[in-house]
Amino acid sequence: MSKEQYLHIIGWAEEKTLRKKFLCRFNQFLPVLLAGIYMVCLVLCFFVYPVFLIRLIIRPALCFLIVTVLRYILKFPRPYDVYGFVPICGYHPGKNRSFPSRHAASAAIIALEIFHLWSGLGIFLIILALFIGALRILCGNHFVKDVLAAYVIAFLFNIL
């Protein structure tokens, strides 16, 4: 997205205080919701499908680790650092850790792994992961390429 597109979205969000609060709350709440569901799934998996528990832990952990290392090595700037604006929420200037999105990668790998065990819940979590990625872009924390790369990495970890 261009600077003008980000500024347009920020302007739209800031027109109404409730709209901005809604976006920020969802940007914070959805990852917490997904993490909570993941924890419940880990407990259920321990009792119902103990053989899959290692996979349900190791793949998301490795994906998180690889994404974190990539971010550290690449040091891509965030949109608000490149374009010089204050994002809707989650402002940490100068961090230079945008690519790939850790929120999007973690959400996607967890959703894909759970899909293998419980497809109905997995579909819900995949939709949730897509919303998390979209919010990371709309709130100005990530570029589209950051989120798409995160989804690709999560998908690759899922099929390995």
CA–CA separation, 160 and 145 (whole Å): 22
Mean pLDDT of the chain: 92
Best CA proximity match to 146, nearest among 90, 101, 108, 79: 101
Q: What is the pLDDT of residue 27?
A: 92
Instruction: Indicate whether this model's pTM tops 0.85.
Output: yes
Mean pLDDT of 82-102: 85
pLDDT band of 130, cuts 50, 70, 90: very high
Mean pLDDT of 6-35: 91
CA distances from 13 to 8, 29, 51, 80, 120 (A): 9, 18, 46, 16, 33
